[in-house]
């Protein structure tokens, strides 16, 4: 069996496998990651091959704490402040690679910058310490598919193509980490997530600019318009489902007939975020070709949810 419950023994085994060059899927507080030794060219190449990921899209390198991050990246003052407030947690900081750092060039797609994250999840933390090396880990889904929020999603997408899947239950946030480019003089929000722009602005005392909408050459390849795509076509900001459409609902005022998945009947954004990707997979599993999506408020975590919904609804790249 590739999918095993996370325990002291299976986490140790995961660390051994990663050190030996194999790939392990593991839970974090955001989504499941597909981890490999970030210092090994062959491990990193295997991550791209396993996901079917275009190799220009750089990976996030996961470490257990700020001290380990400082060995790899040159953190600016602002980056260090954000790290001290939000790590461990759902924030990825893009900083300059430290000269001589041992991270494989392929992991950073040849860029001079590196994306660093310290996850806030007991299994991820224990696995990183067991591996003893920085772990490159994209979300553990086939490239272009929605991110996995359950170990079973990983099994469905990647199955026996990974050495081990550590099952740590459903992820708490359900959306990928907030990505902030802190490598230049001005911070830029590359991907919204559970750490919001408002929280960052409050922490630093200055507003943070969002990267321009996905068009042309993306600053962060995760900004590719159709990056998070289910099979079903999504129609956003719908008040009700039309003939032949399923409904992705939000809040107490949702209609109650037809095939409906309500992200949060009580209208809670954190609950909706945690349920979003499983819901998109459920529509695909049910064979829904068209899904009407009720509006989600564009506040707090709603910004990140709407970002993923817009990508999921965007026209597909060929
Ligand atoms: O929550 C998460 O971040 C999850 C868990 C597993 O940690 N990981 C994740 O990884 O979502 P991935 O590879 O699916 O997304 C990484 C994002 C991509 O949008 C990528 O383009 C961006 O981070 N990124 C990575 N390195 C970068 C860099 N040097 N400069 C700009 N963007 C970068
Ligand atoms: Mg991803």
The pLDDT of residue 229 = 77
Pocket test for ligand 1, best of 27, 47, 74, 92 (most atoms within 8 A of CB): 92
Q: Which conformational region is residue 36 in: left (phi greater than 0), alpha (psi within -120 to 50 degrees), or beta?
A: beta
Residue of the nearest CA to atom 6 in ligand 1? 33
Pocket test for ligand 1, best of 139, 168, 191 (most atoms within 8 A of CB): 139
The pLDDT of residue 29 = 98
The pLDDT of residue 163 = 96
The pLDDT of residue 110 = 85
Whether the Cβ atoms of residue 24 and residue 40 lie closer than 8 Å to each other:
no
The pLDDT of residue 217 = 44
The pLDDT of residue 300 = 93
The pLDDT of residue 143 = 86
Task: Give residue 138 CA to ligand 1 midpoint distance, Å.
Answer: 6
Task: Give residue 142 CA to ligand 2 midpoint distance, Å.
Answer: 9
Residues that place a CB less than 5 A from ion ligand 2: 139
233-313: CATH topology? Rossmann fold (3.40.50)
Q: Is the pTM of this model over 0.85?
A: yes
Q: Which atom of ligand 1 is nearest to the CA of 117?
A: 7
Please report, to the nearest 10 degrees, the dihedral formed by the alpha carbons of residues 195, 196, 201, 207 taken in order.
Answer: 140
3-176: CATH topology? DHBP synthase (3.90.870)
Domains of the chain by residue range? 3-176, 233-313
Residue of the nearest CA to atom 15 in ligand 1? 138
The pLDDT of residue 215 = 43
Residues touching ligand 1 (Cβ under 6 Å) are 28, 30-31, 33, 57-60, 92, 94, 108, 111, 113-115, 117, 137-139, 176-177, 179, 190-191, 220-222
Task: Give residue 243 CA to ligand 1 midpoint distance, Å.
Answer: 38
Q: Which atom of ligand 1 is nearest to the CA of 177?
A: 1
Low-confidence ranges of the chain (pLDDT < 50): 214-218, 318
The pLDDT of residue 228 = 64
Residue of the nearest CA to atom 18 in ligand 1? 222
């Amino acid at each position: 069996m590739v999918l095993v419950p996370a325990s002291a023994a299976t986490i140790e085994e995961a660390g051994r496998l990663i050190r030996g060059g194999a790939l392990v899927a593991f839970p974090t507080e955001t989504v499941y990651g597909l981890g490999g030794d970030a210092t090994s060219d062959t491990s990193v190449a295997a991550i791209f091959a396993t996901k079917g990921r275009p190799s220009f899209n750089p990976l996030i390198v996961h470490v257990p704490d700020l001290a380990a991050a400082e060995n790899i990246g040159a953190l600016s003052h602002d980056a260090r402040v954000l790290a001290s407030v939000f790590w461990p947690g759902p924030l990825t900081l893009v900083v300059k690679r430290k000269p001589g750092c041992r991270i494989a060039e392929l992991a950073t797609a040849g860029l001079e910058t590196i994306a660093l994250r310290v996850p806030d999840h007991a299994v991820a933390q224990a696995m990183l310490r067991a591996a003893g090396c920085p772990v490159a880990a994209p979300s553990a889904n086939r490239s272009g598919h929605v991110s996995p929020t359950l170990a079973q999603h990983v099994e469905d997408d990647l199955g026996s193509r990974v050495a081990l899947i550590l099952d740590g239950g459903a992820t708490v946030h359900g959306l990928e980490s907030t990505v902030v480019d802190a490598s230049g003089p001005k911070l830029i929000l590359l991907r919204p997530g559970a750490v919001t722009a408002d929280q960052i602005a409050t922490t630093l005392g200055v507003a943070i600019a969002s990267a321009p909408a996905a068009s042309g050459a993306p600053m962060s390849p995760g900004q590719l318009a159709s990056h998070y795509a289910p099979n079903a076509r999504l129609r956003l900001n719908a008040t009700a489902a039309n003939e032949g459409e399923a409904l992705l609902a939000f809040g107490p005022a949702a209609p109650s007939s037809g095939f409906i998945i309500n992200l949060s009947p009580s209208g809670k954004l954190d609950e909706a975020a945690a349920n979003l990707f499983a819901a998109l997979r459920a529509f695909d599993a049910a064979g829904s070709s068209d899904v009407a999506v009720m509006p989600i408020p564009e506040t707090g975590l709603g910004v990140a949810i709407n970002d993923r919904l817009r990508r999921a609804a965007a026209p597909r790249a060929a």
